[in-house]
Structure formats: structure tokens, C-alpha cells
């Protein structure tokens, strides 16, 4: 599932995926976006994206709202680190980021 949260933030929900496969998919998406040639008013514009990822290996303890908060915190860490990056939230720690 994908959807706009607000402003320039979007959510991509992936269920039942292996951690490394999800990281590979998101990194490819980030790279593909930054390699895409876009033009606005005749001038080339580079598109970049920062990503924050959160997940859980225990579906019984997974609360979407908390995962969204963790992913959002990871996103802001990616932006603070220079943008156009992927960061993964440390499991169960809404204010810590791992990579």
C-alpha cells in the first residue's frame, strides 16, 4: 500500500517481507528516483528522496501508529544526515535509529 501522509511525505506499507529484501527495494527506489532525468520549464531538476523504515518481526505486537512514528523519526534522521538516504528505526525505540 502507498499513500500520501501530508506535505512531501508518503507512506509505503510492505507486509511479510524479509528485512534485507525491504532494504534492497527501498534503496533501489531511492537510487532510481535520483537517477531519473526530470525537466521543469526546460531545465533539468534532480529528484532525491529520504526514507525512514520501521518494522516488526512480531505481528502480534505490531501497532501501525507506533511503526509510523518510528519510521518518521528515522526519516528525519536521514534528512538531518544530508538527505537522499535510507535510515532504519531501531526496533522498539521510537527515538533511536540504526543502519
Residue 23 placed within a domain: yes
Domain contains 22? yes
**1 within a domain of the structure (yes/no):** no
Beta bridge partners of 97: 89
52: burial class by Cβ within 10 Å (0-12, 13-18, 19+)? buried
Is 31 among the domain residues?
yes
Q: Is residue 63 part of a domain?
A: yes
58 falls within a domain: yes
Give residue 32's domain range: 17-98
Q: How many domains does the chain have?
A: 1
- For residue 5, being part of any structural domain is answered with no
- Percent of the chain's residues with pLDDT above 90: 46
pLDDT digit string, tens, across residues 22-53 = 999 999 999 999 999 899 999 999 999 999 99
Cell of 75: 526519516
Is the pTM higher than 0.75?
yes
CATH of the domain at 45: 3.30.70.270
d(CA 3, CA 11): 5
10 assigned to some structural domain: no
Amino acid at each position: 500500500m502507498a499513500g500520501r501522509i501530508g506535505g512531501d511525505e508518503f507512506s509505503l506499507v510492505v507486509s511479510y517481507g524479509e528485512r534485507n529484501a525491504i532494504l534492497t527495494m527501498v534503496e533501489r527506489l531511492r537510487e532510481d528516483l535520483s537517477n531519473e532525468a526530470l525537466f521543469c520549464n526546460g531545465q533539468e531538476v534532480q529528484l532525491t528522496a529520504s526514507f525512514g523504515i520501521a518494522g516488526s518481526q512480531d505481528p502480534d505486537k505490531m501497532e501501525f501508529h507506533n511503526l509510523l512514528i518510528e519510521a518518521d523519526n528515522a526519516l528525519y534522521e536521514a534528512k538531518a544526515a544530508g538527505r537522499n538516504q535510507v535510515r532504519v528505526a531501531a526496533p522498539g525505540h521510537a527515538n533511536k535509529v540504526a543502519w
